[in-house]
Structure formats: structure tokens, C-alpha cells
Amino acid sequence: MEFKKKWVIVLLLIIGFIFGFYFKSLIIDRSKNNPISKSKSNTKENRIFDQNINEIDFSEKLHGKFILEGADYAGFEFIDSKTISWTNEMFPMDPDTMRLKWIDKNTFVATLTKNIDKKCPPRDWIRKVVSYDGSKLVLKNIWTGWEDSADDDEIFDKE
């Protein structure tokens, strides 16, 4: 009798898992969980901003500290038009200073200024502004590493 109870419980758990995985898309509205759509409201100002994102010169708009969403310290600090720093979550008291160069109005390259290994080229990060509403900044992290990896969006809150 004890053996049958265990099998019934195991089967119910497996069936529950399968149904939960299968019906997940019906339960969760994906647009509500999309952090980019959360930062955009339906105000006229934001709709205009979204339509003209390629016309805004972000080299003049981005100043100050932006903390990576979900982190305590990690993030960028736009110091001036040519300097940016990156604070790592593990070592918040030792931020990396980077040279900032804007490729166009919403895409920049950040290059580490500290030479770690003379045999290797400097590390470059390329980021593109996806959206910015004055308090929430979304950057597309354009992959520049050795192996293949997809670009991804990073969300920052203005400090």
C-alpha cells in the first residue's frame, strides 16, 4: 500500500510540472514582465521620445550614477563626456575608470584605462541606449568577447 501512495504522489508531481510548464505562457502576460515596456508609459511625451530615440544626443543627456537593476552597487557613472566608470558588485570601493567615446548619438565605446596585461589589447565595451526616461536607462550590451554570445539589454536606475 505504501508503494502505491509514493507512485501516485510522484505521478501527480510530474503531471503538475508538465501542466505548469505548458500553461505558463497562458498565466503570465509577457508584456508585463518585460522591463523595457515597464519603463515606457503611454504619456504623449514618452511616445514622442520613443519615436525620436535616434535623434537624441545621449552624450549630453547621460550624467551621474546608474545602478544596475537588482544590484546594490554595480553600475556606470557618467563623469563627463570623455570619462565613465564601472563599479563592480564585488569591489564597490575600486571602480574601473574607462575612456568614453561616442560612436553616434546613442552608441558608445567604453575602454578600460588600466593596463592589466601588456600582451593583450584593452578591454572595450560597446553599449547602445535603447531607452531613457530620466530615471530608468536601458542599454543594449553589444557582445565583444571572444566566443559567440547574444547581445542583451541591461536596465539601470538613476541614483
Residues 118 and 64 in one domain: yes
Q: Is residue 53 in some structural domain?
A: no
Q: Is the pLDDT of residue 56 over 90?
A: no
Whether the model pTM is above 0.75: no
64 and 22 assigned to the same domain:
no
Return the CATH number at 74. 2.40.128.490
The total of structural domains in the chain comes to 2
Contacts of 96 (CB under 8 A, 6+ apart): 85, 86, 87, 88, 112, 114
Domain span at residue 20?
A: 2-32
Q: Which of 149, 109, 146 is nearest to 128 (CA)?
A: 109
Residues 70 and 146 in one domain: yes
Can you tell me the distance from the alpha carbon of 78 to that of 81, in angstroms, rounded to the nearest whole number? Answer: 8
Residues 130 and 95 in one domain: yes
* 3-class state of residue 132 by DSSP: strand
The pLDDT value recorded for residue 59 is 86
38 belongs to a structural domain: no
**Does the residue 39 lie in any domain?**
no
Residue 21 confidence (pLDDT): 56
Predicted confidence (pLDDT) per residue in 1-41, tens digit: 687 888 878 777 788 767 665 655 444 444 344 444 444 44
Q: What is the pLDDT of residues 90-122, one digit of tens each?
A: 988 889 999 999 999 999 999 999 887 888 888
Lowest mean pLDDT among 35-49, 72-86, 104-118, 120-134: 35-49
Give a yes or no: residue 44 inside a domain: no
Is 135 contained in some domain? Answer: yes
Residue 45 lies in a domain: no
Residues 20, 84: one domain?
A: no
